[in-house]
Amino acid sequence: MWSMLKGVHSMDDLATQFVSQILKLNPDFAPLDRIYLINRVYALVGQQVSTKKKVSNLLDLVTLLVDAAVENQKIKDNITEREILEAALMDLVTPRPATVNRLFWNQYQISPQTATDAFYQLSCQNDYIKTRAIAKNSVFSVATDYGDLEITINLSKPEKDPKAIAAAGKQKQVGYPQCQLCMENEGYLGRLGYPARSNHRIIRFMLGGETWGFQYSPYAYFKEHAIFLAQQHRPMMINQHTFSNLLAIVRMFPHYFVGSNADLPIVGGSMLAHDHYQGGRHVFPMMKAPVGHHFKVAGVSAGIVKWPLATIRLISTSPAKLVNAATKILQVWQHYSDEAVDIRAYTNQIRHHTVTPIAYRQGDQYVLDVVLRDNQTSAKYPDGIFHPHPDVQHIKKENIGLIEVMGRAILPARLKAEMQVVADCLLGKKVQVAPYHKKWVAELQRQHQFTASNVHQILDREIGLVFARVLEDAGVFKQTAQGQAAFKRFIQQLTN
């Protein structure tokens, strides 16, 4: 069959090269599908796709095809239309959802890690996980009193196209999918202001008697950054069922951790409208932190973690016992107040207390870290009493969600350029420092002697120390004698 095609399609043709990659990578297609696939590619990008070079890298090949589509006037040259076409092309490389699920669960019979390794590789290979963009992130660690905190300056997510934003504002609101975590995103074309998901695949599994999905995050913040999402679009909720689900997931995937953002504004994550958890193959600083002041909750071994956020670590070989213990902590915490340290369960019948739970395995033992959260505001701290305070918001002012609770900062992209300006200022150059950094810069000038060889190293460390302060601000029981005494008063309520 291939010999019959040589006279029809040149090997220099980008479409022909791309189809060869499809046939190699997608088991849903066979050599007999070659002509069909070439015509599918022509329909997307146009027929003027000749080239004089062989392109072996799949991502580079897709970029050239998108460029050809612009030249052939199949799409306009903007971020939105390029992303939609990239995903549509990569959809041809990606097996159908049923095939992906069948392969995953077949490989799961070998081992859970074999299954996740293959699914992760597919999600990178088809550019659903934006590996090239993620590589732009700035990542480093900083030694603090709480161990080595992890700092990332997030440069991976593409900037919004102002024209696309304006056009999206004029579009009729579709309301489908309801949010970016809904299963209806699988294979969704995308639109202005909403990401392309043609190459997106979700693994289905049963959890707590209902269907859930497992996927990876397109802009991962750590290794194998996974998302576990409810099939039903419903708000996040932390309760006994949550603890049971988290422990069931780490039983299913023992090489992963999994946790849930809190279910209240300010202390919750950025997506509270859809019930979901995050997990992956990473050991966070909090998971390495030591435990002191040992006690028992509902018969389970527990202890206070040496960590800026008030965290109780539960350990047992029995997931059911952990669920009972965590449920007791949540129930007591939801109604617990201690005015001496600004902790109030309710104001005007509005609930302020919840938890951020994280589950993982240590050999045969299950670990459940339960982080106490309080979302009160006050006249002094309108953004949140237990939220980054104004003096550190020049570095971080967004919600402190699950990932940051565990010691990995997700800092805004603006800091990359701003820190270069700060470095120049500290070296005596005449530059315009952002007003919100000026007080911090003055403090740094008093504390350090800066040179061209040490300025960035010192700045990285100082950013890490600010992040430690951010976490301390978010802690309901402070790392002071008063704060720890208050923490132990709460513990007494658990052990009575």
Backbone dihedral region of 60: left (phi > 0), alpha (psi from -120 to 50 degrees) or beta? alpha
**Phi/psi at 361 (nearest 5 deg)?**
-110, 145
pLDDT at 1: 37
Burial label for 195, CB within 10 Å (0-12, 13-18, 19+), is middle
**Rounded to an integer, what distance in angstroms lies between the CA atom of residue 434 and that of residue 424?**
13
Beta strands, E only, 275-407: 276-280, 291-297, 300-305, 311-316, 346-347, 350-351, 353-362, 365-374
**What percentage of the chain reaches a pLDDT higher than 90?**
90
List, for residues 376-396, the tens digit of each pLDDT value.
999 999 999 999 999 999 999
Contact 106, 35 (CB under 8 A): no
Range with lowest mean pLDDT among 53-57, 209-213, 282-286, 361-365? 53-57
Closest C-alpha among 335, 360, 337, 375 to residue 278: 360
What distance in Å separates the CA atoms of residue 30 and residue 41, rounded to the nearest whole number? 16
Quote the mean pLDDT of the chain. Answer: 93
* Tokens of residue 334, six digits: 């939801």
Indicate whether 158 pLDDT > 90.
Answer: no
- The continuous run of DSSP H or E covering 328 comes out as helix 319-334
> At residue 171, does pLDDT exceed 80?
no
Burial of 456 (0-12, 13-18, 19+ CB in 10 A): middle
Summarize the confidence of residues 170-189 as an average pLDDT: 87
Q: Is 186 exposed, middle or buried (0-12, 13-18, 19+ CB in 10 A)?
A: middle
Average pLDDT (199-220) is 97
How far is Cα of residue 203 from the mean position of the Cα atoms in its chain? 18
pLDDT > 70 in the chain, percent = 94
HSE-CB at 300 with a 13 A cutoff on CA atoms is 28
pTM: 0.93
Token pair 């669920």 is found at: 323
Residues whose CB is less than 8 angstroms from the CB of residue 179 and which lie 6 or more positions away in sequence, other chains included: 233, 271, 273, 274
Residue type, 378: S
**Mean pLDDT in residue range 249-276:** 94
Phi, psi of 341 (to 5 degrees): -125, 30
DSSP per-residue codes, 19-62: HHHHHHH-TT--GGGHHHHHHHHHHHH-S----SS----HHHHH
Measured in whole angstroms, the distance separating CA 103 from the mean position of its chain's CA atoms is: 25
Over the Cα atoms of the chain, what is R_g?
Answer: 25
Distance CA 67, CA 70 (A): 5
Integer CA distances (angstroms), 328 to 47, 298, 312, 341, 473, in order: 65, 8, 12, 22, 25
Query: Do residues 328 and 322 touch, judged by C-beta distance below 8 A?
Result: no
Query: 36: which 2 tokens?
Result: 């069909």
325 within 8 A of 366, measured Cβ to Cβ: no
pLDDT in tens, 25-40: 999 999 999 999 999 9
